[in-house]
Structure 1
Amino acid sequence: MKIATRLSALGIFCFISVSVLGTGAWFALDRAHQTSDAAMQRGADMATATDAARIAQVAFKTQIQEWKNILLRGGDPEQLEKYTKAFKDSGVATRANLARTDKLLTKLGIPTPLVAGAARITEELEKNYLTALATFDGTNPESYKQVDAMVKGQDHSASDAIDAIAKFTETQMVAVFEKSTKDLSAIRQAAALQLALLGIVLLVAGSAFMVWLTRSITGPLNEAVGIANTVASGDLTSNIRPGGSDEIGILLNALKAMHDSLADIVGRVRAGTDAISQASIEIAHGNQDLSSRTEEQASSLEETASSMEQLTSTVRQNGDNASQASKLAAAASAVALRGGDTVSQVIHTMGAINDSSRKIVDIIGVIDGIAFQTNILALNAAVEAARAGEQGRGFAVVAAEVRNLAQRSAAAAKEIKTLIGDSVLQVEAGSKLVDAAGTTMEEVVASVQRVDAIITEISVATGEQNAGIHEISGAIAQLDAVTQQNAALVEEAAAAAESMEHQASSLAHAVSVFKIHADSAAAAPAPRAPLRKAGQRQASRRQIDATRARIGDEASAKPGKPAPATSDWETF
């Protein structure tokens, strides 16, 4: 899985987490609103029932007062009719409010037989009063006393029944409000517990996901750094496992290709330097033998010329090999540049991840602002409820709970913002590591370019060796005509051979710092012992023939095929 895909999955997980928390909070708030609305409706119905009971209580007292007015002012027929009508209307109002109270209590699920009993008592009381009123004589001053004596004390039972209803409704109203408060508190606690559990689950899952993501990125990067350090120390014997298909896997594959190609190049260079050194030693030995056996110059001149031609071919082939090595170094530089571009893309991707994390922080800030505004609205609602007095008590409780929820939402948003901030710091740390990897790749590119320069110098040195061999061939051609110059020519050939040996030794020393597998190095020919004894013409001829044959074999065995691409090693 590519790093961009993994980081996209992280963004999606964060979005889903925030969505789940928001949805849970919305459902909890909606449930609280529903419970609050139901509690408010139940409280309103209970308050209406209490008001109806109190109105019935007042209407009954008014009816009794109208009865007294009848007895006191009933001497006037008009007044008698007026107060009698008021007496009956008060009775109707009393029973109507009792019926209303009974209906509301039944709706609330708390019916009571007190209402029906009070209605029956007031109705019988009114009948008794009207029956007594039928005997009333307004012209007789003693008549009102007689009528009053007929119904005296009957209103006490009705008044007590209505008072009992009023007390019952008041008690039930207090119970309803207490139950509503307990229900809201229970819902709030359940919602808080659910949101806390959900937050913990999402936090644990997010932490596990972040640990996995961090290890999946930093692990391969540490492996790549270890490989680079190993190559920097000159050790080319390590075994690099192929990487995956993500960006870091591509980087590891490139490092493996660089490592393998560099090991192959070092092995070939070592084999070449050994061959050159051996050839220069043989040339020096031959020149020493030639200087000690001047009597054999004429007979061995032709054989020496043939050997020099074969040696010229070998040096030319070494020049071709150096040219091919230069091309391989250029190809390795191109591969390293592509690796640097890949690391640059990784840096750009890490920057995009950092920007996305900062956008998430901004979104959390918006959520925090919404929670703050909700808190202000809840505070305003509490103020309005306080102004409403007793009737706004329930709404004040709801407003306080909404305010508490808003404050908890703000605290949760702040915690999420802190976590996202920590994630941003971790992503920035990852960006710094990738920047370090990019710097390392730039150093690798520079090292490969320096390798190219060294191989170019090797090509120039090989050309100089070729020129020296041409001079030796010219000297041998002149040897047949100018025997007197034979000693000087032999000294020049010896000097050229010694220079070639020194150059081969320098090149061998340059690559000796590398450690490679035994099967990576080409088999170098064993050095021959120098011929020191003069006068042994047959031994000298056999040595010259063997040298010529060996040089020819080496020239045919080393076609100089190019090695695959790679990277920088000269600075190590």
Structure 2
Amino acid sequence: MPFARSLRSQSLLLFGGSLLLMLLIALAGFALLSRELNRYQSLVEGPLERLVEIDDTHLSFKIQVQEWKNLLLRGSDPDTAERYWQAFLTQEKEVDQRLQRLATSVDEDLRPRLTALRAQHARLGERYRAGRSAYLANGRDPRRGDAEVRGIDRETAEGFATLVAELHGRTAAQVATIRAEAQRDILLGGLALLLCGGGLLFLGVRLVERRLVDPLVACARQLGQLARGRFGERLPVGRDDELGRLTQSTNLLRDAAVQHTHDLRHQAAEVEALSALLAAQLLTEPGQPPRDVDTQTLKDVSRRLADVARDLQDAATQRQD
């Protein structure tokens, strides 16, 4: 198949697949962090917003109590007293409306407490009205007005404070949970990236070493042996890609060198035999008469030497081509 015959495609698959896997792990980590951000946003838009509203309601209640004190301390003038009383009623109405809205938006386990706090605040308003009536009936005497309502706001104020403290605790616990889970997700994402990167690095090194480096080293070693006149063993060919074709070409070069060496040895042996035959025809021992030269033998030796020379020249020409 084309993929198995292309080292470039295999390399692209290895590195591309590694990058894709790392990207998927990174995206998974971002998705986890995005989930924690959404949870934190829900916390901000939910419990934290309710907490701010309860704090504001508590502040409005304190302003309401302060307006009552202003009525007692600075209400000697009828117009001024009426102005402070209207401010008191405005704050009372605002506190009641806030408590009514909160009772429908907080968690269900807190709704009974807010409902009870609203009812308590309503009873508190009746007591303040009775105190105002006593205040007016006794010639705007602040002591008589204060005697009717002295300390009645303490329980309501403590109810607000307890509710605010509890919501603060719940919100802090949720923030701590979100922070811990976000840190855990960051740690897990980092470990996943580290392990995946290490595994891919190890796998990539092993694959590159086995599929690329080892075949190149084997081919280089074989060519080095051929350069020194050694042939060694044929390299195993089990691939059909570029390195497989390189290995096959190295084997062909090795086989050609072996065959060429065999031919040279055969021709050298033949030349040696012809030389011996020629020496037997032409050379004589000292003191012996010259031998009769066989002309046909000399012609045969000459023709055979010419054939060997032509074969050597043809072989050299083929190697150059």
Of all paired residues, the percent bearing the same amino acid is: 16
> Which residue of 308, 311, 329 maps to 2:295?
308
2:308 equivalent to 1:321: yes
> Which residue of 329, 333, 340 maps to 2:320?
333
Q: Please, what TM-score do these two structures have when normalized by structure 1?
A: 0.47
1:117 is aligned to 116
2:56 equivalent to 1:52: no
2:273 is aligned to 274
Equivalent residues in 2 for 1:142-161 (5 A)? Answer: 145-161=143-159
1:73 touches 1:79 (CA, 8 Å); kept in 2?
yes
1:275–1:130 Cα change, 3 Å: same
Equivalent residues in 2 for 1:242-253 (5 A)? Answer: 244=237, 245-253=244-252
* Cα distance, 1:227 vs structure 2: 4.0
**CA–CA distance in 1 between the matches of 2:317 and 2:137?**
140
**CA–CA distance in 2 between the matches of 1:204 and 1:289?**
83
Q: Which runs of 4+ in 1 moved over 6 A?
A: none
Q: Please, what TM-score do these two structures have when normalized by structure 2?
A: 0.79
**CA–CA distance in 2 between the matches of 1:67 and 1:136?**
13
**CA–CA distance in 2 between the matches of 1:252 and 1:228?**
14
Equivalent residues in 2 for 1:62-73 (5 A)? Answer: 62-71=63-72
Equivalent residues in 2 for 1:156-555 (5 A)? Answer: 156-212=154-210, 213-231=212-230, 240-241=233-234, 244=237, 245-282=244-281, 284=283, 307-309=294-296, 311-334=298-321
1:75–1:270 Cα change, 3 Å: same
**CA–CA distance in 2 between the matches of 1:65 and 1:243?**
98
Letter in 2 for 1:14: F
Letter in 2 for 1:88: L
In structure 2, runs of 5+ residues without a counterpart are 238-243
Aligned residues: 311
Letter in 2 for 1:324: D
2:21 equivalent to 1:20: yes
1:121–1:229 Cα change, 3 Å: same
**CA–CA distance in 2 between the matches of 1:226 and 1:162?**
94
**CA–CA distance in 2 between the matches of 1:138 and 1:55?**
31
* Cα distance, 1:198 vs structure 2: 0.9
1:65–1:182 Cα change, 3 Å: same
Secondary structure at the aligned position of 2:151 is classed as coil
* Cα distance, 1:267 vs structure 2: 0.7
* Cα distance, 1:248 vs structure 2: 3.5
Secondary structure at the aligned position of 1:153 is classed as coil
Letter in 1 for 2:61: F
2:134 touches 2:148 (CA, 8 Å); kept in 1?
no
Deviations 1:161-214 (A, max 9, x none): 112122222222332332232122211211122112212211221221132122
Secondary structure at the aligned position of 2:64 is classed as helix
2:87 is aligned to 86
In structure 1, runs of 5+ residues without a counterpart are 232-237, 298-303, 335-572
**CA–CA distance in 2 between the matches of 1:76 and 1:61?**
24
* Cα distance, 1:218 vs structure 2: 0.5
1:309–1:290 Cα change, 3 Å: farther
Deviations 1:149-168 (A, max 9, x none): 34333222212211212222
RMSD: 3.6
